Structure 1
Amino acid sequence: MPVAISIREGRLNSVTLLRRLGSHSRKNEIYRAFREVGRSVRTVARLRFLADPALRRRITAVTKQGRGVNGFFA
């Protein structure tokens, strides 16, 4: 939360945040927090995909369309 508040208030800019997440960041608490948030977001997206047949159809249609444009075969 302190990072989000600092970004919102303009006390922390993106360059500083990326530097903190850069080298040797696996030991960094901010890195670990953002990694867990990312995992949560991916899990929610996967659950929505599994639970919603209309969403699955829409994603499949767009994926097939993209494969056709790029010359891949389904």
Structure 2
Amino acid sequence: MLAIAAAVVFGIWFLLDLLKTDLGAPNLFNFPTMASLGLMLLALYLAGVGSGPRAGSGSGSGRRFYGRRPGRG
């Protein structure tokens, strides 16, 4: 989810850069701010923050094989 948010941030910044606009807030929508925000979201994603539920945590998650596992000869 954080990787998608980073992609949205970079996409919005790219469109604002192409259109040569700052939406009236030059200190908010500049390169260092948007790059820092996008890179922070990517770093959080790569660190495993907000990556969704883990297999094995909670009830009903993951596959359960009763008897023989499929694919085993």
Greater percentage in helix: 1
* TM-score normalised by length of structure 2: 0.32
- Larger radius of gyration, structure 1 or 2? 2
Structure showing greater relative contact order (alpha-carbon pairs closer than 8 Å, 6 or more residues apart): 2
* TM-score normalised by length of structure 1: 0.31
